[in-house]
Amino acid sequence: MRRREFIKLLGGAAAAWPFAAHAQQAGRVPTVGYLAALSEAADRPRRAAFAKRLAELGWIEGRSVLIEYRWADGAVKHAVEINSELVRLPVDIIVTSGDAYVLAVKRATATIPIVFASAGDPVGNGLVASLARPGGNVTGLSIELTDTVGKRLELLREVIPTLRRLAILFNAADPKINAELDAVLATAHTLSLNIIRSEIRPSEDITPAIEPLKGRADALYVCLDPLVYSNAARINALALAARLPVMHGVRENALAGGLMSYGPDFQDMSRRAAEIVDKVLRGTKPADIPVEQPTKFDLVINLKTAQALGLVIPGTVLARADEVIE
C-alpha cells in the first residue's frame, strides 16, 4: 500500500473512532440496514455511491461498520418482511427510499433511526413533522417531486408542440403518487391538455394499461415509483410499440429506452444520505437533522428513441441536456 493511501485510510479510520470506540465497548461495530426499494441490479449504482461516500467519511465496510443489504424488488409487501428481519438483527440505523418503504420501516420501529435517501412527499405522507424539524426517528432527503412536474410537461410541449392528449401512468398503490398526480393534473389543465389516466398496481397491469393508449394519446407521462422504475424497459418498449413518447422523472428510465427524463440525480442523493448516516452514527438524533433538498437535476434525452418515433428534438432542448443518448 502506498504511503499516501495508508495515511488516508488511517485518517478515515480515526474519524470513525468516536462511535466505533463506543461500539467496541458493547462488543460490536455499528450495523446499517440498507433496504432498497428496487432490485439488486437496478439499485447497484446508488448502492455503490452510498458505500463509497461512507468509506470517505471513515466508515469502512467490514471494519468500522457492517452493512446488511436487502432489496424489495419494487414490492412493498417484501419490505414489510425485510423490516421485521432488520429490526430483529438488530441494526443501528435503517436506510431506505420511497415514501411507501419509509412508512413500512417507520411502522416496524419507533426507536431505530431511519434515513431516507429520497422521498416524494415526506411531510404530506407523515414521514416527518416538518422539513426543518423532522421530529421522531426519521430524516433524509426530499426529491421535490411536485416542483419538477411543470418542468417535465414544459419539455414535453417543446419537443411535441402538437401535444393535446396526455396519458399518465401511475402506481395507485404508492402513497406518494397523489401529490405528483395532482400536480400533473393541475399543470395539464393550465396547458389545456386532455388527460387519460392509466392506473396500475401489480406489474401485471402494465401491458393492459399501455396497449390501449395507441392512437388515443400523444405522449405518456410516467409518475415516479419503484414499481415503474423496476419495469422501465418493459414500459418503454410497450410505449414505443404504441408510438408514444415517454417522459420519466429519473435518468435510468431514459437510458432504458424512454424519450426523456428530468429529475434529481439519485446517485448524488445516495451520497448525501451517507452523510446523514454519518451524522447519526456520530450521535446526532434524526429529529435534529433537517430534511435536505436535491441540488443536482439532470435532463436526459434519448435520441435513439426519438429517431424510432420520428421525432426531431429542437436544438434549444438538446443544448440544455445533461446527457444525450445516441
Please give the full DSSP string across 287-321, using - where no structure is assigned: GGSPPB----EEEEEEHHHHHHHT----HHHHTT-
Check residue 117 and give its pLDDT.
Answer: 96
What is this structure's pTM?
0.81
C-alpha cell at 102: 419509509
Say which amino acid occupies 258: G
- The end-to-end CA distance of the chain, in Å, is 41
Q: Is 80 exposed, middle or buried (0-12, 13-18, 19+ CB in 10 A)?
A: middle
Q: What is the pLDDT along the chain (326 residues), one digit of tens a residue?
A: 333 343 343 344 333 334 433 443 455 799 999 999 888 888 899 999 999 999 999 999 999 999 999 998 877 777 788 888 898 899 999 999 988 889 989 999 999 999 999 998 899 889 999 999 999 999 999 987 778 999 999 999 999 999 999 999 999 987 778 888 999 999 999 999 999 999 999 889 999 999 999 999 999 999 988 888 889 999 999 999 999 999 999 999 999 999 999 999 999 999 999 999 999 999 999 999 999 999 999 999 999 999 999 999 999 999 999 999 99
Check residue 226 and give its pLDDT.
Answer: 82
Residues 6+ apart with CB under 8 A from 262: 148, 151, 152, 155, 247, 249, 297, 298, 299, 300
Check residue 135 and give its pLDDT.
Answer: 93
Residues 6+ apart with CB under 8 A from 180: 120, 145, 146, 149, 170, 223, 224
**Which residue segments constitute the domains of the chain, with CATH numbers given?**
3-142+265-295 (3.40.50.2300), 146-264+298-325 (3.40.50.2300)
